[in-house]
Each structure stands twice: as structure tokens, then as C-alpha cells.
Amino acid sequence: MTVSLDDVQRAAERIAGRVRRTPVIPVAPGLTFKLELLQHTGSFKPRGAFNRLLTAKDSGELTGQGIVAASGGNHGLAAAYAARELGVPARIFVPETTPAAKLGKLRTLEADIVQVGSEYAEAYQAALAEREETGALLVHAYDQPEIVAGQGTVGLELLEQAGGFDTVLVAVGGGGLIAGIATAIGANAQVIGVEPAQAPTMHRALRAGQPADGSVGGVAADSLGARRLGDLAFEAVQGHHVQSVLVDDEAIIAARKQLWHTYHLAAEHGGATAYAALTSGAYEPAADERVVVVVCGANTDPSTLI
């Protein structure tokens, strides 16, 4: 199944009023930030979660059994938030390594939280078992059409808000965000995926010619910790000729600190990963190139920003 621009546009209509239209700010000549870290629950994820739940509600799939989701943290927050807003129960499976900052926020959203395993893939298997046992609606973190279409509304907003731009830098984990943005933006600008060197899901898939499993590690693993790129993301990045740039942990840490000290933006490591491509020189824009960086997540312990 593919996700089209029409799907993204319908998602924008469906979730209007449920999510924030996050600001775009010019921060330097030729450089603009899309502040998706100001979205509800601190990341872009509610866009896809609301689109998935509202679509399922309209079709009758969303029942009294509620929803089940697996997450490194941000998707769980979004799914629990959307479920609470729509008045349905949620059970969220997260790894035992989920940061305390994300766990604390999850517990405020009236969801049943289950910690299992050391990484997202193990939490996902537990969520699948729960879905089979209870019949709850599975809300995938990145590889469902409704999720991708919802995340793509970030791209629609960029086209309306940012004026002309040439390049968008987007962090990649499982690929839902970059798939949606690439679909929304199409030929209007190039889209570059920025990945942690210790979890290069898109880079690996493009080299192999298909999504492939790999190891997960590094400072951004709690939000960009998928073992493999989603099938929908692979189709989108191939179809829209998305390039991959890798950044190491040191670059991510430095970019996160710079976002705080220079712009007073409290980003998590995954949220700073796209910016790390610029600060580290992994991506070097041309002299007149107009670049947008999607700063996509803020669920972090602020005491670690100093």
C-alpha cells in the first residue's frame, strides 16, 4: 500500500483542531527551523496518532477495547494522548530503557504502561501479542498508512509557512516522518534523511535495496531506535529520491547543546539529530541554498542540557 499526497491532505483535514500548527522561524540567513518539538506531547507524533484513531473511529475499528501501541517513548505519549482525547483506553508497551522523563509524562496520560525488553522491537512484539489477545486497535509507531499520512502534515505546513526553500533535513528512525514529509513536499524541494550512525535504518535499506534489520545503539536510540526502516518509508524515500546523511553521537550531543545555548530550544537527542548534519558538516549547503531543519522532539531531562 502506498501513501499519496491526497492521503496527507485528507489527514490534515481530519486532524485539524486536534494538533498544533507549529511555528516556523528563520534563525540565520538561509536557515529555518520547523519547531515540531512544540507539538502536543513534545513531538510530531500526535499527527499520525490522531489520524490513525480518527480513521479507525470512522470505520468502526476503534472499539471499547481501545488501542495498543509500542514505543521508545514519543509515539506512546502521542497514542496515549490521542486515546485520552477520544475517550478510549490505551495500553502502551515501552522498553525498560525508556528515559524517566518520558515515563513520567506517560503516567500522566491515563494509559496502562507496560515495560518490557531492552529496545523497541521487543516492546513491539509484546504489543502484537496484546492485540491478538484483546482485539485492541494497533497503532504502529511508523509503518501504517494513516501514521505516515498524519506525519506528512508537517510537510504541508512547511509549504504554506516557510516560503521558498530548497532542502529539508529530517531525522530518521523507523521513517514515518520522512516518508510523510517527502510525500507532502514531492518535487518542491529535496528531502534529506539524517540518521544516527549507530542506527542507520534508511542508509542500510537504500544500500540493500530493501529494509533490513540491524543493530540499535547510540544516544538517540530512545526515539530513533527502530531496527529497520518501515516498508512505507522505503517506498517513499525511493520514490522521492531522498538521500541519507549519517551523524555520530558526538555530533548529536553537540547539536543538542547548541540548540539550547544558542536558540533556547530544549530538544532531545533525536530532536537534534537533523540539526547535527549542519553543525558537524555532514551536510554542507550550497552558498545560496535555503534549508529547513525539522526540530522534532523535546522529551528530555532539561538538567542534562547544561
Give me the mean pLDDT over the 2-8 stretch: 96
Give me the pLDDT at residue 119, please. 85
Domain ranges of the chain: 5-44+145-305, 47-138
Give me the pLDDT at residue 59, please. 96
CATH of domain 47-138: 3.40.50.1100
Separation of alpha carbons 177 and 64, rounded Å: 29
Give me the mean pLDDT over the 293-300 stretch: 95
> Looking at the predicted structure, is the pLDDT value of residue 73 above 90?
no
Give me the pLDDT at residue 101, please. 81
pLDDT band at residue 303 using 50, 70 and 90 as cut-offs: confident
Q: What is the pLDDT of residues 244-281, one digit of tens each?
A: 999 999 999 999 999 999 999 999 999 999 999 999 99
Q: What is the pLDDT of residues 74-126, one digit of tens each?
A: 999 999 999 999 999 999 999 898 888 888 888 899 899 999 998 888 999 99
> Looking at the predicted structure, is the pLDDT value of residue 306 above 80?
no
One fold for 5-44+145-305 and 47-138: yes
Q: What is the pLDDT of residues 205-238, one digit of tens each?
A: 999 999 999 999 999 998 998 999 999 999 999 9
Give me the mean pLDDT over the 141-146 stretch: 97
HEC-encoded secondary structure of the chain:
CCCCHHHHHHHHHHHECCECCCCEEEEECCEEEEEHHHCHHHECCHHHHHHHHHHHHHHCCCCCCCEEEECCCHHHHHHHHHHHHHCCCEEEEECCCCCHHHHHHHHHHCCEEEECCCCHHHHHHHHHHHHHHHCCEECCCCCCHHHHHHHCHHHHHHHHHCCCCCEEEEECCCCHHHHHHHHHHHHHCEEEEEEECCCCHHHHHHHHCCCCCCCCCCCCCCCCCCCCCCHHHHHHHHHCCCEEEEECHHHHHHHHHHHHHHHCCCCCHHHHHHHHHHHCCCCCCCCCCCEEEEECECCCCHHHHC
Give me the pLDDT at residue 285, please. 98
Question: 31-35 and 24-28: which strand pairing?
Answer: antiparallel
Nearest to 94 by CA among 85, 84, 86, 104: 104
Q: What is the pLDDT of residues 170-197, one digit of tens each?
A: 999 999 999 999 999 999 999 999 999 9
CATH of domain 5-44+145-305: 3.40.50.1100
How far apart, in Å, are the Cα atoms of 1 and each of 179, 231, 235? Answer: 13, 9, 9
Give me the pLDDT at residue 17, please. 97
Give me the pLDDT at residue 1, please. 73
